[in-house]
Amino acid sequence: MYGTPRHPSNPQESMNTEQKIISPEQIARPGGKVVFTNGCFDIIHPGHVDYLERARSMGSCLVVGLNSDASVRRLKGALRPVNDQQSRARVLAALACVDFVIIFDEDTPLELIRKVSPDVLVKGGDWSVDRIVGREVVEAAGGTVCSIPLLAGYSTTGTVERIVAMHQRGGNG
């Protein structure tokens, strides 16, 4: 089961990070407005944090679908992910704005969206609403789908490229 979503107004009701990482089979819809987003979240940066905080502000519970290592490799290539799925899930779960993390192995989160049945489906501004996977499912159930602007200047690819360039120049970080 999801358990009870945390409420930022009551910090005593916090969950440890391992309790926030659940399987699709543990899904039981909590009360309140459920927001869902998904992604690889390979190297967490301020753009991710800003995006996730804004997504969470759209409801009372934020569920993050996290692409598995195999899924990331199929989508991004053999050199990704940089961080394994358990590490990525743990970092996401440690963010106050994230209520639950569910790792999925498919290339798209469509089946997970069907199971979660969110009230709000959110993706970053690099996705137009008509291209967001799961849009039809959420809208058919009366939910809303939105694309929110990304914080400029941040991307995992850009971070990886800067690290590689630093090492090629002989920098030690």
- Number of domains observed in the structure of the chain: 1
In this prediction, residue 163 carries a pLDDT of: 85
* Mean pLDDT, range 67-72, rounded to an integer: 96
In this prediction, residue 139 carries a pLDDT of: 98
In this prediction, residue 5 carries a pLDDT of: 43
Residue 173 lies inside a defined structural domain of this protein: no
In this prediction, residue 155 carries a pLDDT of: 81
Q: Is-contact 159 45, C-beta < 8 A?
A: yes
Residue 146 lies inside a defined structural domain of this protein: yes
Residue 3 lies inside a defined structural domain of this protein: no
Residue 27 belongs to what domain range? Answer: 11-168
Residue 5 lies inside a defined structural domain of this protein: no
Integer distance in angstroms from the first to the last C-alpha of the chain? 42
Residue 61 lies inside a defined structural domain of this protein: yes
**In angstroms, how far apart are the furthest CA atoms of the chain?**
55
In this prediction, residue 9 carries a pLDDT of: 41
Residue 6 lies inside a defined structural domain of this protein: no
In this prediction, residue 101 carries a pLDDT of: 98
| pLDDT at residue 8 is higher than 70 | no
Q: Which of 101, 87, 88, 96 is nearest to 14 (CA)?
A: 96
* Mean pLDDT, range 89-106, rounded to an integer: 97
In this prediction, residue 11 carries a pLDDT of: 39
* Mean pLDDT, range 144-151, rounded to an integer: 92
Both tokens of residue 94?
Answer: 């440690």
pLDDT, tens digit, for every residue of 103-118? 999 999 999 999 999 9
How would you class 122 by CB atoms within 10 Å of its CB: exposed for 0-12, middle for 13-18, buried for 19 or more?
buried
With vertex at residue 17, the alpha carbon angle to CA 11 and CA 19, rounded to the nearest 5 degrees, is 95
CATH number at residue 101: 3.40.50.620
Residue 27 lies inside a defined structural domain of this protein: yes
User: What whole-number distance in Å separates Cα of residue 108 and Cα of residue 116?
Assistant: 14
Residue 92 lies inside a defined structural domain of this protein: yes
pLDDT, tens digit, for every residue of 42-66? 999 999 999 999 999 999 999 999 9
